């Protein structure tokens, strides 16, 4: 923790000499989940200026995309946001399939929808556990990990991965769903629905938690629009925008009666937390609907046979998906090669985190932790 102290300008000339303190939060601070660095200037314990300094984890994902063929890109694409791996894979294959004009088998579409929602539940559970931890409650994370384990077990069974699933393929999914798997998904969903209630009761109504989060870190609609904030954070401020409803992809078009977009209007930390909590329930409902539909569907292929060399015709497209943390987009420009000419990645956390410099000033250091935790970011998703 390197620190620097800057003597206030004009110290001694004013009636009372005061000194602003510059504090580096991160890159290795326990509350930044990785290597985000915030340079904040403090007046006492009040923040007068804050600047997120990013890039400590930059891995050049976009440049690496350009020297990988489309099958390999999927591996890379699920790395930047390790908590929404499936959802990030999805954007790539959607873009490629669109460019190829490929028809994806119905069962693959529904299975993808199911897995995307399970992935969303996994992601949200992580933050539902870690956020109370940031404000000092050490127990909920163990409850959330218990629930994560339920979902992770079915994800692991189908894909072999617990974090990086690598289950999407251009044209469908890697393999057929294992026998009896759908039943186990139903059980897991039921178990999680029950277990999330524990976290809810332990934290949501807690007086101290509410005092720490209510009215803290209010994000206005204007700021959200300026900075391109998306996902549950934007919806907590009443920006009712969800690609699953507003530009349905996968099977979401047919799920409109089940799909419930969770919004809040307060825009504070509590609203963001509640959005996440309620969205877990909404996603579990969607997962149930997907399972029911998959059981009805007649047997059929789950992927498309691909040529040995997969070349995407010349052109460009932008595929965006509603990732757990917000809008994740890929702008794919192809020159008809095996590799993309350019694959621009628009990640959710990158935009979401920029707004911190407007949110933090005026708050206390303790609020900074509450706010930072409620911005639900993954550092890899920021730094790409």
**Helix or strand (DSSP H, E) at 83:** none
Q: Which residues pair with 24 in a beta bridge?
A: 39
Burial class (CB in 10 A: 0-12, 13-18, 19+), 78: buried
147/288 with CB nearer other proteins: 147
102/365 with CB nearer other proteins: 365
> How near is the Cβ of 16 to other proteins at its closest, in Å?
17
175/246 with CB nearer other proteins: 246
> How near is the Cβ of 9 to other proteins at its closest, in Å?
16
Chain positions contacting other proteins, by CB under 8 A: 1, 3, 5, 21, 23, 29-31, 42, 45-46, 49, 132-139, 142-143, 146, 202-203, 206, 208-209, 211-212, 214-218, 221-223, 225-226, 228, 238, 240-241, 243, 246-247, 265-266, 357-370, 373
DSSP string, 121-165: HHHHHHHHHHHHHHTT--SHHHHHHHHHHHHHHHHHHHHS-SS--
Nearest-angstrom CA–CA distance, 348 and 362? 25
Q: Closest Cα partner for 137 from 128, 150, 146, 145?
A: 128
User: Starting from the edge strand earliest in sequence, which strands make up the sheet with 326-334, in order?
Assistant: 315-323, 326-334, 342-346
> How near is the Cβ of 22 to other proteins at its closest, in Å?
8
> How near is the Cβ of 20 to other proteins at its closest, in Å?
11
Please state, as a whole number, how many other Cβ atoms lie within 10 Å of the Cβ of residue 160: 13
220/339 with CB nearer other proteins: 220
98/221 with CB nearer other proteins: 221
> How near is the Cβ of 37 to other proteins at its closest, in Å?
14
Which ranges of 52-139 does DSSP label H, i.e. alpha helix? 61-65, 70-77, 85-100, 106-134
Q: Closest Cα partner for 50 from 293, 380, 362, 345?
A: 362
106/218 with CB nearer other proteins: 218
> How near is the Cβ of 268 to other proteins at its closest, in Å?
9
């Amino acid at each position: 923790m390197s620190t620097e102290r800057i003597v206030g300008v004009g110290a001694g000339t004013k009636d009372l000499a005061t000194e602003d303190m510059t504090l580096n939060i991160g890159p290795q601070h326990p509350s930044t989940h990785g290597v985000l660095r915030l340079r904040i200037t403090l007046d006492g314990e009040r923040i007068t200026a804050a600047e997120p300094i990013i890039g400590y984890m930059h891995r050049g994902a976009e440049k690496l995309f350009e020297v990988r063929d489309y099958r390999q890109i999927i591996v890379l694409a699920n790395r930047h946001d390790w908590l929404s791996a499936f959802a990030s894979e999805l954007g790539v294959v959607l873009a490629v399939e669109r460019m190829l004009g490929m028809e994806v088998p119905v069962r693959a579409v529904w299975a993808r929808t199911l897995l995307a929602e399970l992935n969303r539940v996994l992601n949200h559970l992580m933050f539902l556990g870690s956020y109370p931890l940031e404000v000092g409650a050490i127990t909920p994370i163990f409850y959330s990990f218990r629930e994560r384990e339920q979902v992770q077990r079915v994800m692991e069974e189908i894909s072999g991965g617990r974090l990086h699933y690598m289950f999407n393929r251009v044209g469908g999914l890697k393999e057929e769903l294992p026998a009896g798997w759908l039943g186990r998904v139903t059980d897991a969903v039921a178990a999680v629905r029950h277990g999330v209630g524990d976290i809810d009761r332990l934290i949501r109504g807690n007086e101290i938690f509410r005092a720490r989060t209510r009215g803290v870190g209010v994000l206005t609609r204007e700021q959200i629009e300026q900075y391109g904030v998306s996902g549950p954070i934007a919806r907590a401020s009443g920006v009712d925008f969800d690609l699953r409803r507003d530009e349905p992809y996968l099977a979401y078009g047919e799920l409109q009666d089940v799909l419930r977009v969770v919004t809040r209007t307060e825009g504070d930390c509590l609203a963001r937390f509640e959005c996440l909590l309620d969205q877990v329930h909404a996603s579990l409902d969607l997962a149930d609907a997907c399972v029911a539909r998959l059981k009805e569907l007649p047997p059929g292929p789950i992927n498309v046979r691909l040529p040995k060399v997969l070349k995407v015709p010349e052109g460009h497209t932008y595929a965006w998906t509603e990732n757990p943390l917000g809008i994740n987009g890929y702008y794919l420009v192809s020159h008809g090669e095996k590799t993309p000419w350019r694959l621009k990645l628009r990640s959710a956390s990158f935009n979401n985190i920029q707004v911190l410099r407007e949110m933090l000033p005026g708050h206390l250091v303790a609020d900074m932790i509450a706010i930072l935790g409620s911005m639900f970011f993954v550092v890899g998703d920021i730094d790409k």
